[in-house]
Structure 1
Amino acid sequence: MTVQTLSHPETTTETATEWWRGAVLYQVYPRSFADSNDDGIGDLPGITAHLDHIASLGVDGVWLSPFFTSPMKDFGYDVADYTDVDPIFGTLADFDALVTRAHELGLKVIIDQVYSHTSDLHAWFQESRQNRINPKADWYVWADAKPDGSPPSNWQSVFGGPAWTWDARRHQYYMHNFLKEQPQLNVANPEVQDALIDAMRFWLDRGVDGFRLDAINFAIHDPKLTDNPPLTSNGKRTRPFDFQDKIHNQSQPGIPVFLGRLRALADSYAGDRFLVAEVGGDRANAEMKQYTQGDRLLHSAYGFLYLYADHLDAELVQKGPAMWPGMDGEGWPSWTFSNHDAPRAISRWSEGRDEKAFAEMAMLLLMSLRGNVFVYQGEELGLPQAHVPFDRLVDPEAITNWPETLGRDGARTPIPWKADAVQAGFSSVEPWLPIDPRHYPLAVDAQEADPSSILHFSRRLIGLRRRYGALRTGTMRMVQAGPLLAFERDEGDETMLCVFNLGHSAEAWVMPVGWTVVEAVNVTDPLSDSLPPLAGLLLAKDT
């Protein structure tokens, strides 16, 4: 049966004054996007050369993971200079050219800012560690040993082991929530806040449209260095970090005050500059709400509800609107199914089912959610998690926890641009991470030539979100949550019904009277009495 679909409006529905509300943002991991100088590592000119691809998707903007000066112990999240580009990625002139080209294409540019810690090679830390009386002595978290020489508290680092390392120069421990090469900034210090605000101003002056604030709930610690209590939940534990209730080394009440200063700076620039927090951890839900409450903090928070989930079902999906019901003064959520820190959603959720069918259904679901949505590079191609042999792993978390976790390297492998080219067109030399052979047939050029590809389908779905105000900024109301998932998106006189079979078998379904099919995924006949597995329907209420 041929599905009769509504004709789509020719122009984007403008339902909100802010460009970012309901936006679709495309995440670029610079090391793995495109290599312009054939050194095996992606760079800023490579991104600029492929911005046409991103713009062709119909997204509102691009988010760039760190490209700042760094020794790359954590691949850019250990910043050694907040206001310069690492030579492996290019120059400030290359960045300026990227922003100019992106704006020419109608794309906003969002960049990462890492304000909870720096690299141990940052000039601030190099000065701070010299002694206890220098001008930056209190810019990082330093503390004396306990009488027995042990660390000042029981705090554990995300990457394994104590969150404290001894420094012989100061005869003190310094704190690090992540790698020992990532010393913790003392963001409670007003001078540190001023320096970070200056860094944000530097990039605003260069034309960026917003920032993703990495690990921002780690920014301030309990100055009393109180031990964390044990965590009583029975969740999966692969690290000592997982055994503690992290109430003293993060999530402190001074964080919203700092966020308010960042918002004030952003608001002083024209053009609706956008601030979104990355907030993970045991109290992420409450903290996301806290950090976005009212109109003087952040615009949005980046949710991990779906990102780390190992199973997709209706019960999981309905937690999103339950967390963000749209109350007065409430912030605005941001969602993603995949990013550089988690295994790709297809590999986490497909459970042996057809990966192309799953990718199409998942993209429709993502585009139907209330909030901003982030599409991770390669998601528009349906890339599965790449296999990276142990001897090629570079991610410190993956190496430390192997083989208990899939790690992050498999989500960070290079984008395949050309199916028949050397290194899939990413580079002419062996890249920093290997390209999975399964990714070659999914290359951009191969999918451009195939009208039935996931790439073409992704463009169509992103276009639907831009065209229908109900999908972009409308309310969300759950209608059914198991075994079928159904919810309505509503704005003004426009109502959309989104229906999904997330399961492994067909489910009974009768299309209601008074609705017209806008999009059908993995459905031969929407008018039949059942929906097959991985089916998705987008319906518009007749007016």
Structure 2
Amino acid sequence: MTTDRTEIDRDWWRGCVIYQIYPRSFQDSNADGIGDLRGIVDRMPYLASLGVDAIWVSPFYTSPMKDFGYDISDFCDVDPMFGTLADFDALVAAANDHGLKVMIDLVLSHTSDQHAWFTASRASREGPYADWYVWADPKEDGTPPNNWLSFFGGSAWQWDSRREQYFLHNFLTSQPDLNLHSEAVQSALLGVVRFWLDRGVHGFRLDTVNFYFNDKDLRDNPPLPKDQRNAILAPSVNPYNYQSHIHSKNQPENLEFLKRLRALLDEYPGTTTLGEIGDAERGLELIGTYTEGAELLHMCYAFDFLAQEPLSAARVAEVLYKADHLTKGGWVAWAFSNHDVMRHATRWNLSPAAQRLCATLLLCLPGSACFYQGEELGLEEADLAFEDIRDPYGREFWPEYKGRDGCRTPMVWTGTERNGGFTTGDPWLPISPHHLRHAVDVQESEPGAMLHHYRRALAFRATHPALRTGMLDGVYVYGDVLHFRTVSPEETLYCAFNLSDTPSAHNLPSGTWETIGQELGAVSVSHDGLLHMGPWQICIARQQAEVY
């Protein structure tokens, strides 16, 4: 299957809005309790009605599902639980018919231990696949070759009795890391990318894109001072936070491979890359490095707003300031929620008014934006019992950390059905009764519902170039109010967000301003020169040309 790309805008990704679909929890079409590709096809009219530019589909490849699809055993096929390649082709066709682009989640740093490549690699130290994974001899006392830690806890090395060597796994022991220092591995992975480009995808969300290479000399990571540890990427109970991972990831060789990847995508006009950079210490700095110029990734998304830390005006201003200075020439995609973190409505304990402000803020930030299925419904984190937890991360660190299943429970389409219209079978994760009141059909009939606010905010963003491709200007904080301007050749917009329960009044920037965004609840610019804002209110104004 090929797609005619001659009429595609090469830069559609600049300022785009991407909707993330976790396929096993989106829509079940065959009553087995697991969402599938046909289910996504069935819900394509809903996705188009939101006003997003693209959908990002989390892994659906053949997999033993130890990490729910992020452990791939065949990069070029669909796991039977999700359907077939024909179903995927139908998904791409349906998306195209509805004016949506399709991005797929691609995991290039590791495979499942059931992948044929790993089976061949562990069979012999001399075979053609011998160096396709990161193998190392033990130290003289039999212990692992260095001190690297796994993201899932414990050593990043697993002993293999067949080769009498350790193999590297930055994640589960069943997810061995590929050796991208091997030219053969790089070529094989680029072949996977081409396979999906030829099937018509418009881009890739690249999982753990900064983990592709490790230090060839396998040097120990240094300890991370206690005052620098944080739990953006891993729970505080995880010893992974105790190291500075300067040798196990973020290697300079990564840039040369990303250039090869970008050159391949450039053969397919209108395709794009969205990198996931997993690094709590240097995230924004690496985004700047990985997206600078026209030879590397198109965009990467930041983890700063996926953290537990509350979304205060000062916090947002700090992140925007750092992003502006560290990502010059690059491109950031912002997100408040995804499939790996607690839903932000719960994480930040947001009222409905605060959720509306956050939706508008996300869609006003300069750059691109991602939001996660159910976010547009105002879904909170589901509270699951231990016996319902399927996530290996949650089972490992329970009860201090309950894992990622609370944000992965199925979408709720109808409020009157026990399983919310997701399935007629037994869902793979239980559906929270509290979610049913937020179901799509319930909100469709309520003009003031969260769903309609997202649609209005998306439509508003689409009509204002300064919000899609504008440059950030003049970020400052007054009390609990965040202010910034975003400037494009077509317009200059002033945005203010009161991120608190406290009313505020302050001066507007100099110039003549016209209030816009009233459909989003934006307050009007007053005639007394002051901007009066109630709790969780916003103001968006467009600068008018001076008349002399």
Please indicate the TM-score interval, normalised by the length of the shorter structure: over 0.9
Q: Can you list the C-alpha shifts for 1:309-367, whole angstroms capped at 9, x where unaligned? A: 431012221234323438997111111010001111111113xx52x212111000000
Q: Is residue 357–residue 522 contact of structure 1 (8 Å, CA) maintained in 2?
A: no
- The answer on whether the counterparts of 1:321 and 1:370 sit within 8 Å (CA) in structure 2 is no
Map Cα deviations across residues 358-406 of structure 1 (whole Å, 9 max, x no partner): 2111000000001110011111111111111111011111111222234
Checking the alignment, whether the CA contact within 8 Å between 2:40 and 2:91 is kept in structure 1 is yes
| 1:485 aligned residue (467, 476, 482) | 482
The amino acid that maps onto 2:419 is Q
C-alpha distance in 1 between matches for 2:388 and 2:492? 49
Q: 1:158 aligns with which of 151, 173, 178?
A: 151
Q: Structure 1: how far apart are the matches of 2:192 and 2:421?
A: 35
* Alignment of 1:428 onto 2:428: no
Deviates more, 1:483-492 or 1:63-72: 483-492
How far is the alpha carbon of 1:441 from its aligned partner?
Answer: 0.8
| One-letter amino acid of the structure 1 residue matched with residue 187 of structure 2 | D
- Give the conservation status (yes or no) of the 8 Å contact 1:321–1:477: no
Q: Which amino acid aligns with 1:447?
A: Q
Q: Is 1:173 matched up with 2:166?
A: yes
Matched, 1:365 2:330: no
Corresponding residue of 1:5: none
CA shift at 1:307, angstroms? 1.1
Alignment partners' CA distance in 2, 1:393 and 1:112: 23
Distance 1:435 1:160, change over 3 A: same
Is residue 2:377 matched to residue 1:381? yes
Residues 341, 408 of structure 1: 8 Å contact kept: yes
| 1:20 equivalent in alignment to 2:6 | no
Query: What is the Cα deviation at residue 51 of structure 1?
Result: 1.0
How far residue 456 of structure 1 moved from its aligned partner, in angstroms, is: 0.9
Residue 268 of structure 1 deviates from its aligned partner by 0.8
- Residue 72 of structure 2 corresponds to 79
Please, which moves more after superposition, 296-305 or 502-511?
Answer: 502-511
Are 1:530 and 2:532 counterparts?
yes
1:460 to 456, 459, 464: 456
For residues 148 and 491 of structure 1, what CA distance do their matches in structure 2 show?
Answer: 62
Q: Does 1:125 align with 2:118?
A: yes
Separation (CA, whole Å) in 1 of partners of 2:196 and 2:416:
39
Q: Aligned partners of 1:327, 1:17: CA distance in 2, in Å?
A: 25
Return the match for 2:32 from 33, 36, 39: 39
Establish whether residue 255 from structure 1 lines up as the match of residue 281 from structure 2: no
Select the residue among 430, 434, 437 that pairs with 1:441.
437
Tell me the equivalent position of 1:203.
196
Distance in 2 between residues matched to 1:219 and 1:524, nearest whole Å:
47
Residue in 2 aligned with 1:542? Answer: 544
Match of 1:12 in 2: none
State the 4+ residue runs in structure 1 displaced beyond 3 angstroms: 326-329, 509-513, 520-530
Structure 1 position 526, deviation (Å): 6.0
Q: Name the CA distance, whole Å, in 1 between partners of 2:506 and 2:388.
A: 47
From 183, 199, 209, give the equivalent of 1:190. 183
Once the two structures are superposed, residues 56-79 of structure 1 have per-residue CA deviations (whole angstroms, 9 ceiling, x without a partner) of 111111001100000011000001
| Residue number among 205, 227, 231 corresponding to 2:220 in the alignment | 227
What SS does the corresponding residue of 1:368 show, helix, strand or coil? coil
CA contact (8 A) 1:343 1:385 kept: yes
Please name the residue that 2:54 is paired with: 61
Say which of 110, 130, 138 aligns to 1:145. 138
Aligned to 1:9: none
Give the Cα–Cα distance (whole angstroms) in 2 for the partners of residues 389 and 536 of structure 1. Answer: 38
State the number of aligned residues. Answer: 524
Structure 1 Cα separation of the partners of residues 96 and 537 of structure 2? 37
Counterpart in the other structure of 1:10: none
Code of the residue aligned with 2:217 in structure 1: it is K
| TM-score between the two structures when normalised by the length of structure 2 | 0.92
For the 8 Å contact 1:417–1:444, the answer to whether it is kept is yes
Judging changes above 3 Å, is the alpha-carbon distance between structure 1 residues 232 and 196 closer, same or farther for their aligned structure 2 residues? same
Out of 491, 495, 504, the residue aligned to residue 492 of structure 2 is: 495
C-alpha distance in 1 between matches for 2:328 and 2:383: 44
CA deviations over 1:439-489 (Å, ceiling 9, x no partner):
101000111111111111111100111100011101112342242101111
Asked if the contact 1:228–1:246 (Cα under 8 Å) also holds between the matched residues in 2, the reply is yes
Distance 2:446 2:177 in 1: 49
Given that residues 412 and 436 in structure 2 are in contact (C-alpha distance below 8 angstroms), is that contact kept between their aligned partners in structure 1? Answer: yes
Give 5+ residue unaligned stretches, structure 2: 1-8, 231-235
- What SS is found at the alignment partner of 2:96? helix
Contact between 1:377 and 1:415, CA under 8 Å: does it hold in 2? yes
For residues 162-181 of structure 1, the C-alpha deviation after alignment (integer angstroms, 9 at most, x for no partner) is 00111110011111000000
Determine helix, strand or coil for the equivalent of 2:363. helix
Partner deviation per Cα, 1:93-122 (whole Å, 9 max, x = no partner): 000000001011110100011011000000
Distance 1:510 1:391 in 2: 55
Q: 1:325 to 1:310 in 2, by over 3 A?
A: closer
* Cα drift, residue 511 of structure 1: 5.7
CA distance in 1, matches of 2:85, 2:393: 30
Partner of residue 283, structure 2 = 284
Q: Secondary structure at the match of 1:52?
A: helix
**Aligned partners of 1:371 and 1:472 also within 8 Å:** yes
Contact 1:58 1:459 in 2 (8 A): yes
Q: Distance in 2 between matches of 1:101 and 1:180?
A: 38
Q: Is the 8 A contact 1:212 1:275 kept in 2?
A: yes
Q: Which has the higher contact order (CA 8 A, sep 6+)?
A: 1
Show the counterpart of 1:4: none
CA displacement 1:265-313 (0-9 Å, x = unmatched):
000113x210111002122222211111211111111111101243101
Q: Which amino acid in 2 is paired with 1:514?
A: T
Determine the C-alpha separation between the residues in 1 that align with 2:318 and 2:508.
25
Contact 1:343 1:406 in 2 (8 A): no
2:347 corresponds to: 348
Conserved? CA contact 1:326–1:475, under 8 Å:
no
Match of 2:501 among 501, 504, 509: 504
Cα distance, 1:523 vs structure 2: 6.4
Cα deviation, 1:251-276, whole Å, max 9, x if unaligned, reads: 11100111001000000113x21011
Give the drift of 1:407. 2.3
RMSD: 1.8
- Whether the aligned pair in 2 keeps the contact of 1:294 and 1:329 (CA below 8 Å) is no
Match in the other structure for 1:518: 516
TM-score w.r.t. length of structure 1: 0.93
| Native 8 Å contact 1:422 1:428 kept in 2 | no
2:472 partner SS: strand
Distance 1:316 1:327 in 2: 16
1:294 aligns to what? 293
User: Does 1:115 pair with 2:115?
Assistant: no
